[in-house]
């Protein structure tokens, strides 16, 4: 019997939900040692066994993180694969001498995911989520969906349907309503924030009517980057100067662009880039700053730094301040970040989120007062400034939330059941 499965393939985490015979939904859980997770980290770690031939080994999810932390120098960690789906400029990458297309790399991840979930691709029908607007400045959304479908096919999953993530996020919530309702759904992931406006009419032949979809490539990862850019990068040389032939120049900002997606720091671990940074460091006002950046890159500390910063962001969601403490060898950052500071740093992102919400309303031909309910989901929906954005527009009494990490996958499975029915 074919199983109906919803897969929320996310920038940071992936969630799998299976529709049960009684119409309920079960979220798959993944374990590592004594720990069990509702999410499967969207990562792949590649390595070659020492003295074990040239075969390329890999692990995904929590096991991929563990393999990487066990040997960060001689492994390659791949993250945020979803970010590149709609980017025509990203076609291939080489990993330990082997060329992978993006679709092939995602297929490796999906096979690892399905194996961990105990699912066989040929025995399941998948409804996969996709953002309304894929991440990237020059994203081709149709191209992104085509590549996503191709990745599932390459993973041995020929039976795949696709649905918008925000529509899926609010699907269970909408089914609980008993009167005609216009709902705005906000789904905040790691790489994108997506919005859908849906009209629900109980008892109608077509009870769900999508009115508009919108989105923007700003979400949790963007907020993490703001913390790094303001609290960490200046301690690594950003904003400082160096002298060459008597002329004072700013330290190149491209040295710090990798922090926008922390895994890009691995791509900077090349002899040429490290030599360039060291040469600039010798001519700079304070060489120790840029030498700390070199250490951060060489010792593959991006993941630990990212985890530290994410914990600070989470703390600021329920406390007025949080301590950022990161230490490695002679490099230490120990400072308090207030919620007011953080909100000032993310103000440009909040403005763009608001503009995307307004554009979605305009696309539907509606005003804020025409929205009856607002459903928010995803980790970034916990950020007080994000909730305040919706409170100001729609009123606190209209806001609902829930299933912050699993609602999309569960909604996708329910959509699969309704479409099959």
More reliable by pLDDT, 304 or 265: 304
In the chain, the number of structural domains is 1
Percent of the chain scored above 90 by pLDDT? 61
Distances (CA, A) of 396 to 107, 243, 318, 374, 410: 42, 54, 18, 9, 26
**pLDDT of residue 122 exceeding 80:** no
Mean pLDDT over the full length of the chain: 90
Q: What is the pLDDT of residue 53?
A: 56
Residue 52 confidence class, pLDDT cut points 50, 70, 90: low
What's the longest Cα–Cα distance across the chain?
78
Question: Cβ atoms within 10 A of the Cβ of 177, count?
Answer: 15
**pLDDT of residue 274 exceeding 80:** yes
In a domain, 162, yes or no: yes
Q: What is the pLDDT of residue 340?
A: 97
Q: What is the pLDDT of residue 111?
A: 96
**pLDDT of residue 150 exceeding 80:** yes
Percent of the chain scored above 70 by pLDDT? 97
In a domain, 197, yes or no: no
Render pLDDT for 380-393 as a digit per residue (tens, 0 to 9): 888 999 999 999 99
**pLDDT of residue 261 exceeding 60:** yes
More reliable by pLDDT, 25 or 266: 25
In a domain, 95, yes or no: yes
Rounded CA-CA distance 352/340 in Å is: 19
Average pLDDT over residues 242-246: 91
Q: What is the pLDDT of residue 50?
A: 67
At 102, which CATH number?
Answer: 3.30.420.40
In this structure, of 141-145, 265-269, 283-287, 323-327, the range with the lowest mean pLDDT score is 265-269
In a domain, 221, yes or no: no
In this structure, of 177-186, 283-292, 300-309, 376-385, the range with the lowest mean pLDDT score is 300-309
Q: What is the pLDDT of residue 421?
A: 72
In a domain, 287, yes or no: no
Q: What is the pLDDT of residue 413?
A: 95
Rounded CA-CA distance 109/114 in Å is: 9
In a domain, 98, yes or no: yes
Average pLDDT over residues 170-180: 86
**pLDDT of residue 264 exceeding 80:** no
Q: Please give the backbone phi and psi of residue 394, each rounded to the nearest 5 degrees, phi first.
A: -120, -15
Q: What is the pLDDT of residue 173?
A: 85
In a domain, 121, yes or no: yes
Range of the domain at 47: 3-166+410-420
Render pLDDT for 199-217 as a digit per residue (tens, 0 to 9): 999 888 778 888 999 989 8
Give the highest mean pLDDT range of 92-96, 165-169, 218-222, 342-346: 342-346
Q: What is the pLDDT of residue 143?
A: 95
**pLDDT of residue 2 exceeding 90:** no
CA angle 137, 94, 129 (to 5 degrees): 45
In a domain, 106, yes or no: yes
Average pLDDT over residues 389-417: 91
**pLDDT of residue 68 exceeding 90:** no
**pLDDT of residue 118 exceeding 70:** yes
């Amino acid at each position: 019997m074919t199983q109906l499965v919803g897969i929320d393939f996310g920038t940071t985490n992936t969630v799998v939900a299976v529709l049960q015979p009684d119409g309920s939904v079960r979220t798959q859980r993944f374990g590592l040692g004594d720990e069990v997770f509702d999410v499967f980290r969207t990562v792949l770690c590649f390595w070659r066994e020492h003295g074990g031939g040239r075969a390329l080994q890999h692990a995904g999810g929590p096991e991929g993180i563990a393999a990487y932390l066990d040997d960060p120098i001689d492994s390659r960690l791949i993250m945020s694969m979803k970010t590149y789906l709609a980017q025509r400029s990203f076609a291939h990458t080489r990993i330990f001498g082997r060329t992978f297309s993006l679709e092939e790399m995602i297929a490796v991840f999906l096979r690892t995911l399905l194996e961990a979930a105990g699912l066989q691709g040929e025995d399941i029908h998948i409804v996969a989520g996709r953002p309304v607007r894929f991440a990237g400045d020059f994203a081709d959304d149709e191209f992104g969906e085509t590549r996503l479908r191709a990745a599932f096919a390459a993973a041995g999953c020929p039976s795949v349907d696709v649905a918008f993530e925000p529509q899926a996020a609010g699907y269970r919530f909408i089914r609980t309503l008993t009167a005609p309702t216009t709902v705005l759904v906000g789904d905040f992931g790691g790489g994108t924030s997506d919005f859908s406006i849906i009209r629900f009419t109980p008892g109608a032949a077509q009870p769900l009517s999508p009115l508009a979809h919108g989105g923007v490539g700003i979400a949790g990862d963007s907020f993490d980057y703001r913390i790094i850019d303001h609290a960490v990068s200046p301690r690594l040389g950003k904003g400082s100067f160096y002298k060459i032939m008597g002329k004072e120049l700013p330290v190149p900002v491209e040295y710090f662009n990798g922090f926008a997606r922390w895994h890009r720091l691995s791509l900077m671990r090349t002899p040429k880039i490290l030599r360039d940074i060291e040469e600039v460091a010798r001519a700079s006002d304070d060489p120790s700053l840029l030498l700390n950046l070199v250490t951060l890159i060489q010792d593959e500390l991006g993941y630990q730094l990212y985890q530290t910063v994410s914990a600070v962001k989470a703390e600021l969601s329920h406390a007025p301040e949080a301590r950022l403490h990161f230490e490695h060898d002679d490099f230490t950052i120990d400072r308090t970040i207030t919620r007011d500071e953080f909100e000032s740093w993310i103000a440009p992102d909040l403005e763009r989120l608001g503009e995307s919400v307004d554009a979605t309303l305009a696309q539907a031909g509606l005003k804020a007062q025409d929205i009856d309910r607002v459903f928010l989901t995803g980790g970034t929906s916990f950020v007080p400034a994000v909730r305040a954005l919706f409170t100001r527009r729609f009123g606190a009494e209209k806001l609902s939330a829930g299933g912050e990490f699993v609602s999309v996958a569960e909604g996708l499975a329910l959509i699969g059941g309704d479409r099959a029915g």
